[in-house]
């Protein structure tokens, strides 16, 4: 599985950005795909994940502001980020795994494949 992120950039607080993740070789039958982020000096944390194009999970810090979506053939995933805050500044990573548990959707160590990341800076 190869994951390539795009769409990061710099934006003022209150603005919006859309991140994209192109996924090749990904099968959504058993697993899930989602977004993580890592701010300077902090650990990597789960932001949002989507399973089967339908089930969606969000971190409490982004719920109501971020929306995860996936196209019908599951080759492209997006994260629409609205009302961005300075604390959303981080490197954002796309990640996938071929297993699923709602309890571990945000567990970094359970994911099999990662993209290189795209930087989001909110000032």
Mean pLDDT, consecutive 10-residue stretches, the chain (123 aa), reads 94 98 79 94 96 92 97 89 98 93 91 96 97
Structure confidence at residue 28 (pLDDT): 65
Determine the 3-state secondary structure of 105 from DSSP: coil
111 dihedral zone (left: phi>0; alpha: psi -120 to 50; beta): beta
Q: What is the structure's pLDDT at 12?
A: 98
Nearest alpha carbon to residue 119 among 4, 2, 6: 6
């Amino acid at each position: 599985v190869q994951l390539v992120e795009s769409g990061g950039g710099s934006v003022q607080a209150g603005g919006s950005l859309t991140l994209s993740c192109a996924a090749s070789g990904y099968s959504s039958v058993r697993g899930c795909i989602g977004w993580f982020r890592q701010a300077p000096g902090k650990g990597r944390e789960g932001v949002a994940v989507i399973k089967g194009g339908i089930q969606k999970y969000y971190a409490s810090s982004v719920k109501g502001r971020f929306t995860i979506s996936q196209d019908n053939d599951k080759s492209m995933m997006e994260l629409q980020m609205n009302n961005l805050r300075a604390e959303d500044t981080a490197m954002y990573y796309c990640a996938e795994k071929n297993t699923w548990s709602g309890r571990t959707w945000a567990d970094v160590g359970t994911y099999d494949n990662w993209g290189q990341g795209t930087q989001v800076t909110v000032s």
